[in-house]
Chain A
Amino acid sequence: MTANDAATASPGPISDAPLLELVHATKSFGAVKALEDGSVRLHAGEAHALVGENGAGKSTLVKILAGVHHPDSGELLIGGVRTTLNGPAASRAAGVSIIYQEPTLFPDLSIAENIFVGRQILGRGRQIDRAAMRRRADAAFARLGVALDPNRLARGLSVADQQIVEIAKAISFNARVIVMDEPTAALSSVEVDRLFAVVRALRADNTAVLFISHRLEEVFAICQRVTIMRDGRFVRTAPIEDLTIDGIIRSMVGRDLDTLFPKTETAPGAEVLDVSRLTREGVFTDVSFKVRRGEIVGLSGLVGAGRSEVARAIFGIDRYDAGTVTMGGKVLPNGSPLAAMGAGVAFVPEDRRLQGLVMEMAIDHNIALASLGRLERHGLISRKRERDLAADWAVKLRLKFGRLKNPVSTLSGGNQQKVVLSKWLARNPTLLIVDEPTRGIDVGTKAEVHRLLDQLVSQGVAVLMISSELPEILGMADRILVLREGRLVAEMPREAATEASIMRAATGQSVGSAA
């Protein structure tokens, strides 16, 4: 098919036989069931949305289609034939291509070489035929209706352009199914429009596009059918005409709160943290809120809404462009974690392996790391005090460990998180910021962490908790703040918040539009 045909043809009707069918796929990682019933049917020429909360199993499903994960059970049919995908190469060979949110190109190679890496077009004597590669790349870009110079190095391409290169690569593989995993998360509105034009061009070529997005208005703008997932299970697939945004949200969240969340009612005390009009250009805008003693404030929103970024700015890891952070009546200087720590702020970051722990260092050293000043005698660290401090906290938090001298990397995820918590609690903070405090840890330890947070609050500590898990936010927080695209869009008291109302605020659907 030539570029002209693609540009003029209108999207064809959705055919009957599915191009790709995943039926009742399950996948567990250890004790964690990531996917209990992953099912999706993709037809030629359709853009098919896959929606669900964070942790609904979408990423696992994508990785199964990508050949990265092998399902424990269930079957995959491609073109009606039972298929097993052993690795990414097999997936590509079967006509499935994945476009990730942040593609990984080769910065030092040209765009054309990126498209054809490992399978460059060969000419005479098995030499690479650069002219042919350039022509084929140009043809792919023409079909997609975008202008990119194939000779350019990939270094410095915008995320949007990198995605286009990946899509051109998919086309060059003759992909029949293209999976886009939250492609619009890092795109400007102009770039989103261009991506949608590309999706329409793909549909016109009878490619099936599986479109994963948290932005439901985008789903309605570009998709013909929607598959909804919840808690690792398929809920339903329906044509877009039969759905409303509110209906989708209800299907995404409808579940009971479990008993993971011990919550003691406490009366909040004096104001501790006052964030006023905090702005970091392009990341978050005009964010204002207060946190008081004895309360947990939950910071909710979709991944990428700027939650962690706000927390990092408060703690001084990142600088902000405007606004103030006040701790206990004193304005904190911009960009100084040391000042924030001095004012009684503690910060348990999102990624404990990268940001929270020195993995190869012993448990006791890790626990003492933020309190070294107190352990000093005559300018030297007292080993005895360090050991005592660590042993004390290990008991308090019921840490399961071999010896305090063992490296932290020998602990389980949940116990590692306890070490990070100990490190900060050892400083007796007045404000504890926790970013995804229970991500990737088992249910038992999770409940322990929740109990610990509850205890701290009843002792008068103020807690700011970021979590992608709605039940955690609903179960633990006294007040809930919702960020969307860097702005604070809702604040609700515990009693008024529901999963649906948070999701509505987080995805930008006004409460009024609820049917």
Chain B
Amino acid sequence: MKKGQVHVTETILVVFIVLIILIIGVVGYYRFSFEKNKSLEGELSERAATIMLAKAVNLDELACGDGDCVDAGKFLPFRRVLGEDLGRFRSIFGRKKIVFRQIYPVLDGSVLEVECDTANYIQMDYPNNCGKWTVYEFNPDNEYGSKISTIVSLYYPEFDRYVVGRLEIDHYDTIRK
């Protein structure tokens, strides 16, 4: 092989390798950016849900008069208002599911997943006949959500009684495994 031919072969090889590196770099960077954006979307969704966790307890529609607890007596009226003005609340809450549960005193296991509604509310054994209030739900694409929660003080104005509850928020903006 002549010297010139060797140089040409070398140059072709170098150009080929540089091209391969460039392609790998571009593909790798694109995939990385895509994953990073997905993760960022998840973080932002989680952050928004965390803000909602703190904010929901202080919403006038749900909070007690002194603002230190959640008024269980407002859940049913809130759901009715929600149905009348869903667009407004969608813009506030977004794609989420907001659930309040009583956790102490401990309820009977058979009622833990029973939704509290008007039918339960008018019974004599209320609030021991149901375990949760789904006050808001908007998940049009039927996505799997990530759940975050915090402890809240639940107040039953009908009995002037405070119990311990848990506020759970499922956020659906991103599916997180």
The judgment on whether A and B are partners is no
Partner-B contacts on A (CB < 8 A): none
